[in-house]
């Protein structure tokens, strides 16, 4: 039996925040200030699924990143999704995540749709497989 522990939710979120903040021009927020101008990016839900292999636990982490815009920001939302996709697929395996290495990255899906507040919303979901290093 393998002991499954040390879920890397917060450390993955921190690494993605740094990647997105430094890798493109749309502001990225952990907590969106009331005065935030559109468009902006937030890191949404993260799920973690353990995959046990022999004496190792690999985490399949599904992360949703959201791009928020006004009805006039459809192009900017699309460009934000493009930037996130490029950053995740090109630099995802070199993310610095405390006590973990990224061994695989893929884009699961991307969506765009009108938001409930009359804005425009895009999401992109990535799956990163993490292996514990220490």
How confident is the model over 98-122, as pLDDT tens digits? 889 999 999 999 999 998 878 999 9
pLDDT at 6: 83
Cα 82 vs. chain centroid, distance in angstroms? 13
- The structure tokens listed for 9 are 């939710």
Q: Which fold has domain 9-29+36-132?
A: STM4215-like (3.30.2000)
Beta 40-53 vs 100-114: how paired, if at all?
unpaired
* pTM, entire model: 0.91
pLDDT at 116: 81
In this structure, the number of other CB atoms found within 10 A of the CB of residue 17 comes to 17
Whether the predicted pLDDT of 3 surpasses 70: no
Strands (E), the chain: 28-29, 40-53, 56-69, 100-114, 120-132
Domain locations along the chain: 9-29+36-132
How confident is the model over 26-55, as pLDDT tens digits? 999 999 999 999 999 999 999 999 987 777
């Amino acid at each position: 039996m393998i002991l499954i522990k040390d879920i890397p939710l917060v450390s993955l979120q921190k690494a993605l925040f740094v990647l997105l903040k430094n890798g493109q021009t749309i502001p990225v927020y952990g907590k969106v200030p009331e005065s935030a101008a559109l468009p902006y990016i937030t890191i949404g839900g993260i799920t973690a699924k353990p995959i046990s292999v022999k004496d190792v636990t690999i985490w399949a982490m599904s992360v949703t990143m959201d791009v928020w815009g006004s009805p006039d920001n459809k192009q900017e939302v699309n460009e934000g999704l493009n930037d996130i996709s490029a950053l995740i697929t090109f630099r995802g395996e070199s993310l610095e995540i405390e006590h973990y290495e990224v061994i695989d990255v893929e884009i699961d899906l991307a969506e765009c749709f009108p938001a409930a507040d009359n804005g425009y919303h895009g999401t992109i979901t990535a799956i990163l497989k993490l292996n514990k290093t220490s």
